[in-house]
C-alpha cells in the first residue's frame, strides 16, 4: 500500500524526495569538505553546518507536515471503512520511511558527486587519494540517518494527530 | 427495545461551541429505525441531517443522549471496537464519493474487506462481483479520476456493500450528480436494499429518494419536525408534498 501510494502521488512524492535528497547531499558535502586547522575557520564551518542543518530540518519537516495534512480526508475515509489508528499511523510512517531512504540514497550520491567536483577544483587529482575520504562511511551513515530520521519525524506528529482524529473531523480535513 | 429495531436514538444532542454561542446541531432527536427499512432524512441545509448521519454511523459522538446499534450502545465502545463496528456492520456512501484517489475501483472496494481480514484473492473475487452488480465490471481497474461522477458513486455503493453490512448510510448520494445519473443511483440503491435486505438511511435533499423510502423523517433546527410513512406521502407529477 505504501509503495503504490508513493508511486501514484508522484508529484508530491518527487517534491518531498527532492527536499530530503538536497538536505542529505548538502550535509554530506559539508561533512566531507576539507577543513583547515585554523580555529576561526573551523568555528565558521561548524556554524555553517549547524545553520544549514536547521534550514534543512525546517524544510523537510514542513514538506512532510504538508504531505500528511493534505491527506487528512483520505485518512478519515479509510478510518471510516474500518482502519485502526495503528494501521493509519503505521502506513504513513512506512511511506515516509521509504521516501526518506530513497531521498537519502539520491542525496548521498549527489553529495559525493558535489564533493568530488569541489575536491577536483581544490586538490586536483589528490581527490582520488584514499586519504582525502577519511571517515567517509560514517559520514554517509550520518547523512542517511538524518534523511531517514527527518522524514519519519516530520510525518510522526501529523500522522499521530490524523490517526487519533474522529473520522468525521479527518474527512473534513480539520486539525 | 423491539427485536426488529436496528438503530435506537434517544434524545440525541450535538452541540458545537462557536465563539461565545452554542450551536445546537441536534437538539434532542429520538428515532427508532427498523431492520430492512429504507429511511430518508429530509430537511433544509443546517437542519442536522449530516450530523445525525455521522452520529448513527459511529463517525462522531453526541454531546448528550444515546445511540444503540442493535444491542450495542455506541458510547460504550472503545475506538478499536468502533472501527470494527464500522467495518463489519456499516457501509457509507458520501456526496463526494470519498474514494481513495490512488487506488483502482477494485482496490477501493476491497479495502473494507481487507480490514475485516479477507485474503487478497477472496476480496478481489467479491469486489469484482460487486462491481459487476453495479454495472462497472468493465472499469474495475480504472482510478477514480478516470471515472465519471455517477461511476464513482457506483464504486462507492459497491464499497459500502463490501462486508455485507446491516446498515448503509448515504449522505446526499445524488447531490453531485446530473438528473439521469441521480435517478439511476436512486434505483440502484432501492434494488440493492430489496435484494440484500439491508437497512438504508439516506440524508437527502432529493425528492426522487422519497419514492423509494419506507419512511421520511423531516428535520428542522436539529429536531424531528415530522415523520411520514410511504403511504402518507403525496407524490404527484412535478411536485411532491405531504
Do the chains contact at B86 and A81, CB–CB below 8 Å?
A: yes
pLDDT score of A100 more than 50:
yes
pLDDT score of B239 more than 80:
no
Q: Which residues of B touch A170 (CB under 8 A)?
A: none
- The pLDDT assigned to B146 comes to 94
Query: Taking the CB of residue B2, how many other CB atoms lie within 10 A of it?
Result: 8
Q: What is the mean pLDDT of residues A158-170?
A: 84
The number of distinct structural domains making up chain A is: 1
In a domain, A34, yes or no: no
pLDDT score of A84 more than 80:
yes
Residue of B nearest to A2 (CA): B102
- The pLDDT assigned to A175 comes to 47
Give which of B107, B111, B116, B127 to mutate to test A binding, by max A Cβ within 10 Å: B111
In a domain, A62, yes or no: yes
Q: Give the pLDDT confidence of B43-85 residue by residue, as tens digits.
A: 998 899 999 999 999 999 999 999 999 889 999 999 999 999 9
Separation in Å, CA of B144 to nearest CA in chain A: 12
Q: Which residues of B touch A166 (CB under 8 A)?
A: 59-61
In a domain, A113, yes or no: yes
In a domain, B106, yes or no: yes
- The pLDDT assigned to A56 comes to 72
- Minimum-distance CB partner of B111 among A9, A78, A166: A78
Q: Is any Cβ of chain B less than 8 angstroms from the Cβ of A167? A: yes
Q: Give me the domain span that covers residue A104.
A: 2-29+39-172
Query: Taking the CB of residue B157, how many other CB atoms lie within 10 A of it?
Result: 25
Distance in angstroms (rounded) separating the CA atoms of residues A98 and A152: 9
In a domain, A20, yes or no: yes
Distance in angstroms (rounded) separating the CA atoms of residues A36 and A44: 11
Residues 48-67 of B with CB under 8 A from A: 54, 57, 59-61
In a domain, B177, yes or no: yes
In a domain, B143, yes or no: yes
Q: Give me the domain span that covers residue B221.
A: 36-60+78-241
Percent of chain B topping pLDDT 70 = 95
Percent of chain A topping pLDDT 70 = 91
Closest Cα partner for A71 from B87, B100, B144?
A: B100
- Minimum-distance CB partner of A82 among B87, B99, B101: B87
CATH of the domain at B47: 3.40.50.300
Q: Which residues contact B36 (CB under 8 A, 6 or more apart)?
A: B193, B197, B198, B199
- Minimum-distance CB partner of A82 among B60, B61, B86: B86
In a domain, B119, yes or no: yes
Do the chains contact at B102 and A8, CB–CB below 8 Å?
A: yes
Q: What is the mean pLDDT of residues B147-162?
A: 93
pLDDT score of A9 more than 70:
no
Q: Is any Cβ of chain A less than 8 angstroms from the Cβ of B221? A: no
pLDDT score of B124 more than 50:
yes
pLDDT score of B139 more than 90:
yes
pLDDT score of B241 more than 70:
no
Q: Which residues of B touch A80 (CB under 8 A)?
A: 57, 59, 86, 92, 98
Give ipTM to 2 decimals: 0.84
Which ranges of chain A does DSSP label H, i.e. alpha helix? 2-8, 10-32, 39-69, 72-80, 85-123, 136-164, 167-172
In a domain, A144, yes or no: yes
Q: Which residues contact A102 (CB under 8 A, 6 or more apart)?
A: A17, A20
C-alpha grid cell for residue B226?
A: 415530522
Q: Which of A47-56, A117-126, B98-107 is modeled with the greatest confidence?
A: B98-107
Residue of A nearest to B97 (CA): A77
Distance in angstroms (rounded) separating the CA atoms of residues B33 and B217: 10
Label each residue of chain B as H, E or C: CCCCEEEEEEEEEEEEEECCEEEEEEEEEEEEEECCCEEEEECCCCCCHHHHHHHHCCCCCCCEEEEEECCEEHHHCCHHHHHHHHHHHEEEECCCCCCCCCCCHHHHHHHHHHHHCCCHHHHHHHHHHHHHHCCCHHHCCCCHHHCCHHHHHHHHHHHHCCCCCCEEEEECCCCCCCHHHHHHHHHHHHHHHHHHCCEEEEEECCHHHHHHCCEEEEEECCEEEEEEEHHHCEEECCEEEC
In a domain, B20, yes or no: no
Distance in angstroms (rounded) separating the CA atoms of residues A127 and B212: 80
Which range (A51-60, B165-174, B216-225) has the least confidence?
A51-60
In a domain, B55, yes or no: yes
Q: What is the mean pLDDT of residues B104-129?
A: 95
Q: What is the mean pLDDT of residues B160-180?
A: 89
**Residue A13 vs residue A83, higher pLDDT:** A83
- The pLDDT assigned to B237 comes to 42
- pLDDT-based confidence at residue A46 (cuts at 50, 70, 90): confident
Q: Which residues of B touch A167 (CB under 8 A)?
A: 59, 86
In a domain, B212, yes or no: yes
Average pLDDT of the residues of chain A: 81
Q: Is any Cβ of chain B less than 8 angstroms from the Cβ of A52? A: no
Separation in Å, CA of A2 to nearest CA in chain B: 11
The number of distinct structural domains making up chain B is: 1
Separation in Å, CA of B77 to nearest CA in chain A: 14
Q: Is any Cβ of chain A less than 8 angstroms from the Cβ of B38? A: no
- Minimum-distance CB partner of A166 among B60, B80, B143: B60
- The pLDDT assigned to B3 comes to 66
Q: Give the pLDDT confidence of B77-100 residue by residue, as tens digits.
A: 999 999 999 999 999 999 889 999
**Residue B217 vs residue A154, higher pLDDT:** B217
Q: Which of B15-19, B110-114, B131-135 is modeled with the greatest confidence?
A: B110-114
pLDDT score of B236 more than 50:
no
In a domain, B151, yes or no: yes
Amino acid at each position: 500500500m505504501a509503495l503504490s501510494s508513493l508511486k501514484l502521488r508522484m508529484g508530491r512524492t518527487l517534491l518531498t524526495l527532492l527536499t530530503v535528497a538536497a538536505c542529505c547531499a548538502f550535509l554530506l558535502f559539508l561533512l566531507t569538505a576539507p577543513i583547515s586547522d585554523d580555529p576561526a575557520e573551523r568555528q565558521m564551518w561548524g556554524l555553517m553546518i549547524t545553520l544549514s542543518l536547521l534550514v534543512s530540518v525546517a524544510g523537510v519537516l514542513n514538506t512532510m507536515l504538508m504531505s500528511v495534512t493534505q491527506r487528512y480526508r483520505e485518512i478519515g475515509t479509510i478510518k471510516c471503512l474500518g482502519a485502526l489508528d495503528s494501521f493509519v499511523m503505521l502506513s504513513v510512517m512506512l511511506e515516509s520511511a521509504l521516501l526518506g531512504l530513497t531521498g537519502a540514497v539520491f542525496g548521498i550520491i549527489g553529495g559525493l558527486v558535489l564533493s568530488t567536483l569541489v575536491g577536483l577544483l581544490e586538490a586536483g587529482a589528490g581527490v582520488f587519494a584514499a586519504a582525502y575520504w577519511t571517515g567517509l562511511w560514517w559520514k554517509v551513515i550520518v547523512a542517511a540517518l538524518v534523511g531517514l530520521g527527518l522524514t519519519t519525524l516530520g510525518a510522526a506528529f501529523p500522522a499521530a494527530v490524523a490517526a487519533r482524529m474522529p473520522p468525521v473531523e479527518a474527512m473534513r480535513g480539520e486539525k | 427495545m423491539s427485536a426488529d429495531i436496528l438503530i435506537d436514538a434517544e434524545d440525541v444532542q450535538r452541540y458545537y461551541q462557536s465563539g461565545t454561542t452554542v450551536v445546537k446541531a441536534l437538539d434532542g432527536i429520538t428515532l427508532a429505525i427498523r431492520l430492512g427499512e429504507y429511511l430518508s432524512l429530509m430537511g433544509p441545509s443546517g437542519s442536522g441531517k449530516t450530523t445525525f448521519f455521522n452520529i448513527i454511523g459511529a463517525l462522531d459522538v453526541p454531546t448528550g443522549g444515546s445511540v444503540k446499534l442493535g444491542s450495542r450502545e455506541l458510547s460504550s465502545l472503545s475506538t478499536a471496537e468502533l472501527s470494527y463496528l464500522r467495518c463489519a456492520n456499516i457501509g457509507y456512501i458520501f456526496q463526494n464519493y470519498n474514494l481513495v484517489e490512488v487506488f483502482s475501483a477494485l482496490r477501493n472496494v476491497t479495502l473494507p474487506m481487507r480490514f475485516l481480514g479477507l485474503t487478497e484473492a477472496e476480496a478481489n473475487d467479491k469486489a469484482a462481483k460487486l462491481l459487476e452488480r453495479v454495472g462497472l465490471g468493465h472499469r474495475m481497474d480504472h482510478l477514480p479520476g478516470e471515472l465519471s461522477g455517477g461511476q464513482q458513486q457506483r464504486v462507492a455503493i459497491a464499497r459500502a456493500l463490501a462486508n455485507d453490512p446491516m446498515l448503509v448510510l448515504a449522505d446526499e448520494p445524488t447531490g453531485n450528480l446530473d438528473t439521469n445519473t441521480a435517478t439511476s443511483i436512486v434505483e440502484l440503491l432501492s434494488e440493492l436494499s430489496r435484494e440484500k435486505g439491508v437497512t438504508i438511511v439516506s440524508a437527502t435533499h432529493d425528492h426522487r429518494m422519497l419514492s423509494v423510502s419506507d419512511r421520511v423523517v423531516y428535520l428542522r433546527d436539529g429536531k424531528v419536525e415530522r415523520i411520514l410513512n410511504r403511504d402518507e406521502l403525496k407524490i404527484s407529477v412535478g411536485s411532491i408534498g405531504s
